[in-house]
């Protein structure tokens, strides 16, 4: 989990490949109305997120081994997302606003404009007890740190 530009997809896919697990991108599960809001530069409200988090939870209930890349910025979102899951770990991809705003400006996300990064940092509630990784490191170093803390 982490804000836009933290490397959820890049690091998540690399980790999933090394573990032989499936990678899931939470962005693929947003309803069209959420995508339209974000593409217009409008931050989502909690009411927009609950059905999306319900869908993600159902997908995770059906998976055996998977990595989910999801912003999950607030504790209430993470609790909703993981409700009923028996074996999971939260990985917090942490980076400075300066680093991530630079990354966001250099890439073109399909619907998440760089202008929403500030609102994401404003909403961010860093998780307690998560595997925490500084994304200023290389992708390889981030994956190695996660694997080490997972004991794999």
Q: What are phi and psi of 62, to 5 degrees?
A: -90, -15
Distance (Å, rounded) from C-alpha 49 to C-alpha 128? Answer: 21
Q: Would you say 41 and 116 are in contact if contact means Cβ atoms under 8 Å apart?
A: yes
Task: Provide CB contacts within 8 A for 57, sequence distance 6+.
Answer: 80, 81, 82, 83, 84, 85
Domain count of the chain? 1
CA distance 9 to 151: 21
Q: What's the CATH number where 42 sits? A: 3.40.50.300
Tokens of 132: 């925490």
Residue 34 lies in domain = 8-150
CA atoms within 13 A on the CB side of 9: 9
Read off the pTM. 0.89
Closest alpha carbon to 24 in 62, 79, 74: 62
pLDDT at 19 over 90: yes
So what's the pLDDT on residue 113? 53
Is 130 within a domain? yes
Mean pLDDT across the stretch 132-150?
97
Mean per-residue pLDDT, 25-31: 94
Does any domain span residue 102? yes
101 pLDDT higher than 80:
yes
Q: Is 68 within the bounds of a domain?
A: yes
Q: Establish if 54 belongs to a structural domain.
A: yes
pLDDT tens-digit readout, 30-75: 999 998 887 787 878 899 999 999 999 999 999 989 999 999 999 9
Q: Answer whether residue 1 is part of any domain.
A: no
The whole-number pLDDT of residue 108 equals: 61
**pLDDT tens, 113-129?**
556 678 889 889 999 99
Q: Kindly state the average pLDDT of the residues 128-151.
A: 96
Extract the tokens encoding 95.
């980076």
- Determine, yes or no, domain membership for 2: no
Is 112 part of any domain? Answer: yes
| Residue whose entry in the numeric block shows the structure tokens 């990064």 | 117
Tell me, yes or no, whether 3 lies in a domain. Answer: no
């Amino acid at each position: 989990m982490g804000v836009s530009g933290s490397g959820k997809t890049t690091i998540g896919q690399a980790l999933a490949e090394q573990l032989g697990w499936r990678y899931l991108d939470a962005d693929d599960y947003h309803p069209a109305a959420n995508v339209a809001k974000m593409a217009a530069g409008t931050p989502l409200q909690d009411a927009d997120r609950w059905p999306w988090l319900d869908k993600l939870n159902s997908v995770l209930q059906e998976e055996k081994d998977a990595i989910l890349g999801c912003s999950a910025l607030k504790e209430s979102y993470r609790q909703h997302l993981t409700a009923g899951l028996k074996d999971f770990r939260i990985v917090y991809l942490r980076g400075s606003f300066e680093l991530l705003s630079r990354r966001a400006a250099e890439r073109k996300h399909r619907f998440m404009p760089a202008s929403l990064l500030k609102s994401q940092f404003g909403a961010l509630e860093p998780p307690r007890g998560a595997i925490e990784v500084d994304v200023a490191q290389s992708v390889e170093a981030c994956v190695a740190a996660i694997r080490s803390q997972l004991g794999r």
